[in-house]
Amino acid sequence: MIAEGRYRMSIAGYIRESMTRSSWIRKMFEEGLKLKARYGEENVFDFSIGNPDLDPPEEFFKAMRKFSGEQVKGAHGYMPNAGFPDVREAIAARVAMEHGVEMHAGHVVMTCGAAGGLNTVLKTLLNPGEEVVVSRPYFMEYAFYVANHNGLLIPADTRPDFSLDMDAIRGAINEKTKAVLINSPNNPTGRVYPEEQIRELADILLEFRSRGQTIYLISDEPYREIIYDGVHVAIILAIYPHSIVVNSYSKSLSIPGERIGYIAVNPSCDGRDELLAGLVLCNRILGFVNAPALMQRIVAELSNVTVDITPYRERRELLAMGL
């Protein structure tokens, strides 16, 4: 019996607590929308969430018109939970070319953006109480994503220049560690981790592998195409065998609201076939079911297209000169 005058909470206690520490960046974004409506969009400068203000490339709109105008039976119905096979083959071909590894459609799962992809990966990998190491500062939603699946996020410090601190990462790893999560180019610092650091990290993880513990390297790469001055983003799949890449088109095509991305699993990954089967299952049971059908068709068509990042570079230079 519940005592008179007392009531059970209407929502889960964990969610109530999470609401109190939810992203202030997201709150700033929502406040910015109100200010733009009040004072005019040209009078408010939004430095909150990574919501691109550049239009998608013209090729996106051409593909949108092409596929939305077609009346093909079943085009908007269910498909395999991993996505359309031909779309996955197209994505696998691009990933293979970029990463220098042999891939095919069976190594790719289409997802509802990188956020959906990360949650699918973490749901598949984590037993309750297992840990994911991440270097800080990090994208704050990572803590929620890991907690969603009863895992623990373990922060490791970075160096003063925000590059990876190998001693800190090694010190954060223990017998409960299931994965190390990296994000390069990094949100929020913009740091691109040099290839030699990724190789050093891979060597550390292989040390643990030699002792019987497989630690997956999860690479969150939505900013991979937003780079300047000939900077090289390390090719994760070619460096560490037990690696998983999560990517989206939110930044590269400037379509964050469309929620389309993918997971690419290293063909040499430990337990690869079971992992891939688990990803497909978790993509479904988390309620994503499958990535948006129309967007799958469009991104497959645009495998070699990106947004023009010239305005981003010009803004960066203007800000740097001002500082």
Chain region(s) in the chain for CATH 3.40.640.10? 60-301
Which pLDDT value is given to residue 4? Answer: 56
Share of the chain above pLDDT 70, in %: 96
Compute the distance between CA of residue 171 and CA of residue 158 in angstroms, rounded to an integer: 12
Q: Report whether CATH 3.40.50.300 matches the domain 60-301.
A: no
Tell me the residue ranges of DSSP E strands in the chain.
Answer: 108-111, 131-135, 152-156, 177-183, 216-220, 243-248, 261-265
Instruction: Kindly provide the residue ranges of all beta strands, DSSP E only, lying in 105-251, ordered along the sequence.
Output: 108-111, 131-135, 152-156, 177-183, 216-220, 243-248
Residue 21 has pLDDT above 90, yes or no: no
Q: Residue 258: which pLDDT band, with cuts at 50, 70 and 90?
A: very high
pTM over 0.85: yes
pLDDT band at 23 (very low <50, low <70, confident <90, very high): low
Q: How many CB atoms lie within 10 A of CB 264?
A: 28
